[in-house]
Amino acid sequence: MLAPYAVRVEDSRGRRHPEPPHPYRNAFQRDRDRVIHSRAFRRLENKTQVFTRRYSDHFRTRLTHTMEVAQISRTIAAALDLNVDLTEALALVHDIGHPPFGHAGEKALDAAMQRRGDFFDHNLQALRIVDDFELRYAEFRGLNLTFEVREGIVKHSHDYTSAKHPELAEYLLDLRPPLEAQLIDLTDEIAYTTADLDDGYEAKLLKLEDVRKHVRAFERYFVEMNARYPAAPDKLKFNEALKRMLNGFVTDLIENTGSRVALAGANSLDDVRRLPERLVAFSPKVEQERREAKAYLYRALYESKPLLPEKVKAEKVVTETFDFLVANPGALPPSYQEKVEHEKLVRVVCDYIAGMTDHYIQDVHKRLGTA
């Protein structure tokens, strides 16, 4: 049973290239499966989330992070009677446009484009991937995903305008995205906030006493776990507190979103789309706790001295590879050289680098003699 404001697959606006229905999978399930079987999705396994494998093979990659976002998103969508198939497809595709080396690589790639009067945006890159770069079908380029998934790729975390992005006008930029898409931005936040606390503590870059002092949402549960399991090792008490913190964020998002939907009087998908603001949100108290946790992670982990050398190296590799290829387009693979005939060189180079894994760009960097 779906809520009246959920997206119904039978009401989908369809695909750019019409296809006959599948006998036992609906259109959103097929979209999910196409994402999973794509090359871009597989490459997420070798793209940094926060830590490179120099620290541990146990830490999150873009792929394992994506799987955690999908699990959390399915749970919340089911609790709110939303379309779980669409939600899962959006969760699995949400990071597919990220370049190598995590946020350091994204920052360097955008800076390289900005210096040439352009930009890099991983959401729009994901759209380019599913619409054009994936070559799996004889009848069309890309994955031919439904409108609802492509719209969610564009709008799940950012409100674009037709004035700045006329090329995106088909995605109803003056309207809010469905709740299934709105969910992804905050399930992403839940997943990486709790996961990065976990990996940062495991890497010994975050100290238990500091986490307890600066992350109130964690401390509340740790006090309880400390009393319940006084003889347990700190790591296990940490785990128990962290999973309850995650569950607390999820529960609050479900309950507060449900209340906001009721208060807004949203009785249809059209109602959701025409509201002046998004409905998926934490309560003010938990939103403040989330912001505190995120600010702490930036100070203590993302911008920490131990991670700085790897960030600097990542930015250097991306920047130097980009600059070399722009100056020497003949070094691009033949398929990308063909694209230069009808697209700007800097965009073609950006596409090439954005699709690389951490390992591959380092190999290219060495091979081109830019190291």
Cα–Cα distance measured from residue 259 to residue 190, given in angstroms and rounded to the nearest whole number: 20
Lowest-confidence pick of 40-54, 154-168, 343-357:
40-54
Cα–Cα distance measured from residue 26 to residue 67, given in angstroms and rounded to the nearest whole number: 21
Given a cut of 70, whether residue 56 has pLDDT beyond it is no
Region 44-63: mean pLDDT is: 78
For 41, the token pair is 């999705």
How many separate domains does the chain show? 1
For 224, the token pair is 């309880």
Region 64-91: mean pLDDT is: 98
- pLDDT bin (cut points 50, 70, 90) of residue 55 is low
- pLDDT bin (cut points 50, 70, 90) of residue 48 is confident
Given a cut of 80, whether residue 327 has pLDDT beyond it is yes
Cα–Cα distance measured from residue 361 to residue 325, given in angstroms and rounded to the nearest whole number: 12
- Does residue 192 sit within a domain? yes
Buried b (16+ CB within 10 A) or exposed e, 165-175: eeebeebbbee
The number of angstroms, rounded, from the C-alpha of 360 to the middle of its chain's C-alpha atoms is 21
Task: Note whether 289 and 217 are within 8 A (CB).
Answer: yes
Tens digits of per-residue pLDDT, 285-326?
999 999 999 999 999 999 999 989 989 999 999 999 999 999
- Does residue 320 sit within a domain? no
- Does residue 113 sit within a domain? yes
Its domain, for residue 131, covers: 9-309
Residue at token pair 């600010």 = 295
| Residue of 152, 156, 132 lying closest to 144 (CA atoms) | 132
- Does residue 140 sit within a domain? yes
- Does residue 284 sit within a domain? yes
Q: Which phi and psi (to 5°) does residue 276 adopt? A: -75, -15
Cα–Cα distance measured from residue 191 to residue 68, given in angstroms and rounded to the nearest whole number: 6
Residue 145 amino acid letter? L
- pLDDT bin (cut points 50, 70, 90) of residue 54 is low
| Residue of 264, 271, 273, 257 lying closest to 176 (CA atoms) | 273
DSSP state of 329: G
CATH number at residue 262: 1.10.3210.10
- Does residue 47 sit within a domain? yes
Tens digits of per-residue pLDDT, 5-37?
999 999 999 999 999 999 999 999 999 999 999
- Does residue 338 sit within a domain? no
The torsion region of residue 349 among left (phi > 0), alpha (psi -120 to 50) and beta comes to alpha
Give the gyration radius of the chain's Cα atoms: 22
The pLDDT, as a whole number, for residue 369 is 80
224 sits in which H/E element: helix 216-228
Tens digits of per-residue pLDDT, 188-243?
999 999 999 999 999 999 999 999 999 999 999 999 999 999 999 999 999 999 99
Cα–Cα distance measured from residue 113 to residue 173, given in angstroms and rounded to the nearest whole number: 24
Tens digits of per-residue pLDDT, 115-167?
999 999 999 999 999 999 999 999 999 999 999 999 999 999 999 999 999 99
- Does residue 314 sit within a domain? no
